[in-house]
Structure 1
Amino acid sequence: FEADDPFYRRVRERLEASVDREAFAPWYEQPVRRLPDELESKVREAVVETQRLFRDRRLMLRQIDDHWIRHLTSLDVLREGIGLRAIGQQNPLVAYQKEAYEMYQEMLASIQSEIVRSLFLVPQAAQRRAPQRDLARSFRLTAPQRQLSFHGAGAGDSRERQPQRATRRLGRNDPCWCGSGKKYKDCHWREDRRRAGGT
């Protein structure tokens, strides 16, 4: 890590708050896997918390940015049509200010609800995605491989079995086998080719 990296700085701050500095000093330059168990768990905890903080910050900034761009576009549309209010005996400037303020308040409420929704849905989506991947992998296994994965390898079979190709090969534009909804070429195609020894 770079010393001026914000992620690294935040991890260090969390560590310094939770670990005695003198106890951590001799281990400072060591890789995490060489640290004592107690210290390793604190380092991992600090990294996970910092990752969560940065993820939440990215989600919030993305929501604010998206809503702000939509708000500015809506203000342009409102500005183009506000001149017609003069025909209805309304001051266009007052009408514009009033409607722009209402739109701004709606934008703030929408930002708050979207941020809360996305922060609570991210962990749920990650939990749902893991079983889907396992399920997709089990469907990709051929019958002999399924027997091995459920019953273990035979005692006399010490060589590693090569994965067998399924009868129907996925095309690059077919939906990916993982169930993500993406095209195969945009999802797992490169990874599967690397595993198969392709380029």
Structure 2
Amino acid sequence: MKHAKKATSRTRAVTGGAIVAALALGGFGAYSASATGENTAAAPAAEAAEADAKNTTRSTHLTIEAATKAAQATLDAAEKENQRVSVAVVDRNGNTVVTLRGDGAGPQSYESAEKKAYTAVSWNAPTSVLAGRLAQAPNLKDIPGTLFLAGGAPVTAKGAPIAGIGVAGAPSGDLDEKFARAGVAALGK
């Protein structure tokens, strides 16, 4: 039994020493933090700054209403010719605003329409024209998110691209692009 008491005394001594050491180190850390002048309280909030007008730009975007009108006009043009297509309208930055998948449109047409719209707005040109440029610059097709097949048309305002309309699913890219142009034309009405 005496042996057990010695172990307990030793354990107490070691534990007590560890506690004293921890308190000493903690006190030293607090002292050194205040000695450097650091405020351990919450830092003051960053002040908001207004950007100077010369450092900003404005861009024109289609409203959701206009994008929907263009997509519906595109789909209507395709349906008049009994074509089953998907239509995508993207904004100037290539973000999809509206996508309509017509009844019976193939599963590949949805993504293809988005890529054609993105490609048309990126280069501000119909994708049929851009497809012809692949002969001189075959690496264009390697740019992510693009599709260099006829069926995409840019939408412009004051000569600058503001959106793209892409169509996929008709038996030819020429038909896809014809329907995309119908959507662009609907925005002028």
More strand as a share of residues? 2
More helix as a share of residues? 1
Radius of gyration: which is bigger?
2
Structures share fold, TM-score greater than 0.5 = no
TM-score by length of 1: 0.19
